[in-house]
Structure 1
């Protein structure tokens, strides 16, 4: 407890999913938090749970003025700004490369990359006035490999990883740390926006069931798992850490399934022995075990 006591944080996309998990964890650790989100009803309800320690301001991160206003409001309301979690986002355009229009690319870029760059930009003067601070960006495992998300989403998340490194280099002398978190399979509604809640629940149930088949750790990720990583980056415990991206993915990025699934390894070993037995039966005069 109290790992963030005395700190002020601004969290975008804080009314649901990963952002909500971070708000709850940061508040539990003593931070005062300004939540930015387009969901006003959820944001206001969240603020009401905490009294004056958590506040809400509507923020559409595709609007530059909204981002600037969020950073200004956090500093004005709570007397400064120490931590910024650039987290807001969605799945973006779902088209393939052969289908994608420039407009679709631009919308996704504005939501997932431009928003992060502007979140950093408008946080800088406030963090400098506090003698430094921490900026945390939500990237994704999709920014590191193919097949983990739509192509536009994945491209922007890869750019967020590199932006994080560049910003860390530029801002280090101001004692501003910049790091990214790369979630894997996390139970949120990021890829089911605007669908009936029952359908979204069905998708999450499928994710929960499929998690053991996708990664070494046989459980789906929860927003609390990402919040724990964000807490480390927000706290003084990470004061010597900047420019890195932390995978929080249950081991999904460690390698293909045969690297971590004992059943699959056993199956492949049995298949090899069966092939070897067949080969020996067909070549009784051979002594080598090579096949």
Structure 2
């Protein structure tokens, strides 16, 4: 299914690798102009160079609300508006039992995975409404609806992200802004580089599809939800998990 996003302006956070990079590539292929934001400014710049002038790099940390505000303002100033957003930036965090979880690590994980999405929507929403409406996709996880031992901060953030998405959708859908969440299973991205073969096989075994997902598969659903082909979809949480959650 081909998408035509010509004339649309998008911002993607966590854009320089993995799912974010795949989203940027597919949005650009569909004709959108994209602000590719990432904490790794060099990687974002390399991606923009590879894709051409319709992709603009931006270095920023989503846990800094002033940086997020500047990101949206920069997008509007350079491209002339904002129609679409993918709030994808995220981190994994430490693997420790809840009572042993360090307070600074708890705040670090929520600062990126939850607060960063809130900050992004806070500044994206007015900009999108100013152009007449559009769509936002927040990147959750299968752990937005499932638990995972040793990951209290990550699981809490992704559950909260799903709830925040639904609340925002109720607030803005009648004004032409659709907001949805996507919940990937374990995806074969650079985040898994260095994992030993036994641990990798263990992750694969959790997915009835018999493999991990790809960033392109997650990006395909994300871009569909951003498009007018999904015009009656809002406030929803969509899994891309190879059957993980069906067990």
Residue in structure 2 matched with residue 41 of structure 1 by the alignment: 42
Query: CA distance change for structure 1 residues 251 and 49 in 2, over 3 Å: closer, same or farther?
Result: same
Q: Distance in 2 between matches of 1:94 and 1:207?
A: 14
Q: Does 1:216 align with 2:208?
A: yes
Residue in structure 2 matched with residue 228 of structure 1 by the alignment: 220
Residue in structure 1 matched with residue 154 of structure 2 by the alignment: 153
Residue in structure 2 matched with residue 276 of structure 1 by the alignment: none
What does 1:147-226 align with in structure 2 at a 5 Å threshold? 147=148, 150-190=151-191, 200=193, 202-203=194-195, 209-210=201-202, 212-226=204-218
Query: CA distance change for structure 1 residues 83 and 132 in 2, over 3 Å: closer, same or farther?
Result: same
Q: Does 1:240 align with 2:232?
A: yes
Query: CA distance change for structure 1 residues 148 and 31 in 2, over 3 Å: closer, same or farther?
Result: farther
Q: Distance in 2 between matches of 1:41 and 1:231?
A: 25
Answer whether contact 1:109 1:156 (CA < 8 A) is retained.
yes
Relative to the length of structure 1, the TM-score reads 0.80
Measured after TM superposition, the shift of residue 10 of structure 1 is 0.2
Q: Distance in 2 between matches of 1:248 and 1:79?
A: 33
Measured after TM superposition, the shift of residue 3 of structure 1 is 2.0
Quote the RMSD (CA, aligned, Å). 1.7
Q: Distance in 1 between matches of 2:100 and 2:204?
A: 33
- Aligned residues, how many? 246
Task: Give the 3-state SS of the residue equivalent to 1:203 in structure 2.
Answer: coil
Answer whether contact 1:187 1:204 (CA < 8 A) is retained.
no
Q: Does 1:254 align with 2:246?
A: yes
Measured after TM superposition, the shift of residue 218 of structure 1 is 1.8
Q: Distance in 1 between matches of 2:179 and 2:196?
A: 31
Deviant stretches of 4+, over 3 Å: 204-212
Answer whether contact 1:164 1:243 (CA < 8 A) is retained.
yes
Higher relative contact order (CA 8 A, sep 6+): 2
- Structure index of larger Rg: 1
Q: Distance in 2 between matches of 1:99 and 1:172?
A: 41
Answer whether contact 2:25 2:51 (CA < 8 A) is retained.
no
What's the CA shift string for 1:153-187, capped at 9, x where partnerless?
A: 01100000000000001111221111000010101
Relative to the length of structure 2, the TM-score reads 0.94
Gaps of 5+ in 1: 193-199, 256-291
Measured after TM superposition, the shift of residue 146 of structure 1 is 1.8
Gaps of 5+ in 2: none
Residue in structure 2 matched with residue 53 of structure 1 by the alignment: 54
